[in-house]
């Protein structure tokens, strides 16, 4: 009897097991090992409990990777599955929301997890929870997996779906990556990706809890790297919000930024001249206003004061009619190029995904099997292809799991 072992019962592992069981010969057992007491713990937390499970436009420019060419090939194979159809065929009605994001129609991540569990049961996948993989060995064509309680499982194919380093509180605390490394894989340096950022604390004093809409641009010295528009959240340690989390992906070593800073433009729809004119007109209508009164109704007053101080325009008790033309220019510049420096990620616990991982050239793009180690597959967050916010990471996790499961099953059937 053949055995396919799936290590990790998260997003990629559950669909890999379903796909393997659907394509396997009758004499093949599919076994899923998960260290948590329940399957899909991280999946339940995705999309704020709604599970943004895919996106209708998953092009390579939505992924952080050292190897966009191979990533593009992987994505084109995943595209052929048509994940929305796959989910529909498995009973999950989906809805498309803003920017091509796909959600379960019920808006419940729990429904996605429960439906996947239903199929695991229907297809007689042997699920072992509370089962932590501690060792993997290979002799000839057989893989042996040892778990924390000393149990041993033998498999003819093994799909490693144990996630990356991001979100260790959900179970993925790096064993998947360690396994790849120990298996001889070349690894791209890891970094927490899609993560809030710390910055110079002086720049955010008294701003914790405030949210503003802005265009956030990442610069390396004077070079513009990337811009995202969205809501920026100020915290006691730094800045957060989807736009900032997207920018965090560019802090990976593969992009080689030396002195990254983020500049916020609080008025992206205005040119600098138009904003200066607006500021001056406004001052003529309220000449006796103090700076804080002047800012009220323009931007959040605390934000206005913080920008005012970065512009070095003197005491905030100044009356606006005392400002000279060049000072209005400076204030307009400050409101459009508010700089945040000393950027640092806030660690794996706050990260939604893992930047870096298995260098993609070692993976067969149609199956996620290692080219040098047939029978061994790495899927999901273990590979060097981290997506933006918007369903791109689950696209990769589900897509790679489905491809690997199908390939492992069909390969054994044909052997």
Sheet containing 101-104: which strands, arranged edge to edge? 54-55, 101-104, 94-96
Closest distance of CB 36 from ligand FAD, Å: 5
Stretch that binds ligand FAD, among 37-45, 209-217, 283-291, 295-303 (CB under 6 A): 37-45
Binding track, positions 394-413, relative to ligand FAD; x by CB under 6 A: x--x----------------
Residue 74 makes contact with ligand FAD by CB under 6 A: no
Q: Which of 36, 165, 203, 362 binds ligand FAD (CB under 6 A)?
A: 36
Min CB(376)–ligand FAD separation in Å: 15
Positions 48 through 67 that interact with ligand FAD (CB under 6 A): 51-52
Per CB under 6 A, the list member of 195, 381, 385, 407 interacting with ligand FAD is 381
Among 336, 353, 362, 367, binds ligand FAD (CB under 6 A): 353
Q: Which of 34, 188, 228, 345 binds ligand FAD (CB under 6 A)?
A: 34
- Identify which range of 42-50, 56-64, 182-190, 274-282 contacts ligand FAD by CB under 6 A: 42-50
Q: Return the exposure string of 47-82: e unless at least 16 CB atoms fall within 10 Å of the residue's CB, then b.
A: beebbbbbbeebebebbbbbbeebbbbbbebbeebe
Select the residue interacting with ligand FAD from 3, 23, 41, 406 (CB under 6 A). Answer: 41
In terms of CB distance, is 146 or 319 closer to ligand FAD? 146
Instruction: Please report, as residue ranges, which positions from 260 to 299 form the binding site for ligand FAD (by CB under 6 A).
Output: none
Helix axes 11-23, 392-414, angle to 10 degrees: 30
**Smaller CB separation from ligand FAD, 155 or 260:** 155
Tell me the residue number closest to ligand FAD, measured at CB.
10
User: Which of the residues 1 through 20 are near ligand FAD (CB under 6 A)?
Assistant: 7-13
Using CB under 6 A, pick the residue from 334, 355, 380, 399 that binds ligand FAD: 380
Cβ proximity to ligand FAD, 69 vs 134, nearer residue: 134
Is 378 a binding residue for ligand FAD by CB under 6 A? The answer is no
| Candidate segments 61-69, 82-90, 158-166, 404-412, binder of ligand FAD by CB under 6 A | 158-166
Task: Supply the minimum distance, in Å, between the C-beta of residue 101 and ligand FAD.
Answer: 8
Judged by beta carbon, residue 249 or residue 380, the one nearer ligand FAD is: 380
CB of 95 to ligand FAD, least distance (A): 14
Per CB under 6 A, residues contacting ligand FAD are: 7-13, 33-36, 41-43, 45-47, 51-52, 132-133, 161-163, 166-167, 170-172, 175-176, 352-353, 380-381, 391-394, 397
């Amino acid at each position: 009897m053949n055995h396919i072992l799936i290590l990790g019962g998260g997003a990629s592992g559950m669909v890999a097991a379903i796909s393997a069981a659907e394509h396997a010969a009758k004499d093949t057992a599919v076994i899923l090992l998960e260290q948590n007491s329940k399957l899909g713990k991280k999946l339940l937390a995705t999309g704020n409990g709604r599970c943004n499970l895919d996106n209708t436009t998953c092009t390579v420019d939505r992924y952080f990777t050292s190897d966009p060419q191979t990533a593009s090939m992987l994505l084109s194979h995943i595209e052929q599955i048509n994940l929305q159809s796959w989910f529909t065929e498995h009973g999950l009605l989906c809805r498309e929301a803003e920017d091509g994001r796909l959600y379960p129609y019920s808006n419940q991540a729990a429904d996605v997890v429960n439906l996947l569990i239903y199929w695991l049961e229907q297809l007689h996948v042997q699920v072992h929870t509370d089962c932590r993989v501690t060792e993997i060995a290979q002799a000839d064509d057989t893989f042996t997996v040892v778990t924390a309680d000393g149990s041993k499982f033998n498999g003819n194919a093994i799909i490693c779906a144990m996630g990356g380093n991001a979100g260790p509180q959900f179970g993925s605390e790096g064993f998947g990556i360690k396994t790849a490394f120990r298996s001889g894989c070349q690894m791209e340096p890891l970094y927490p990706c899609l993560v809030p950022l710390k910055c110079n604390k002086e720049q955010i004093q008294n701003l914790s809890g405030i949210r503003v809409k802005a265009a956030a641009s990442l610069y390396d010295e004077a070079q513009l790297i990337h811009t995202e528009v969205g809501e920026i959240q100020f915290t006691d340690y730094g800045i957060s919000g989807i736009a900032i989390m997207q920018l965090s992906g560019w802090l990976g070593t593969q992009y080689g930024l030396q002195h990254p800073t983020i500049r916020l433009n609080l008025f992206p729809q205005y040119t600098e001249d138009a904003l200066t004119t607006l500021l001056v007109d406004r001052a003529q209508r309220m000449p006796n206003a103090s700076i804080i009164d002047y800012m009220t109704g323009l931007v959040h007053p605390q934000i206005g004061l913080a920008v005012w101080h970065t512009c070095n325009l003197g005491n905030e008790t100044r009356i606006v009619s005392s400002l000279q033309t060049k000072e209005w220019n400076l204030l307009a510049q400050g409101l459009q190029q508010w700089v945040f420096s000393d950027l640092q990620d806030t660690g794996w616990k706050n990260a939604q995904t893992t930047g870096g991982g298995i260098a993609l050239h070692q993976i067969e793009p149609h199956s996620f099997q290692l080219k040098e180690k047939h029978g061994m597959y790495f899927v999901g967050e273990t590979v060097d292809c981290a997506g933006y916010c918007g369903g791109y990471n689950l696209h990769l996790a589900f897509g790679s799991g489905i491809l690997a499961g199908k390939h492992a099953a069909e390969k054994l059937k044909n052997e």
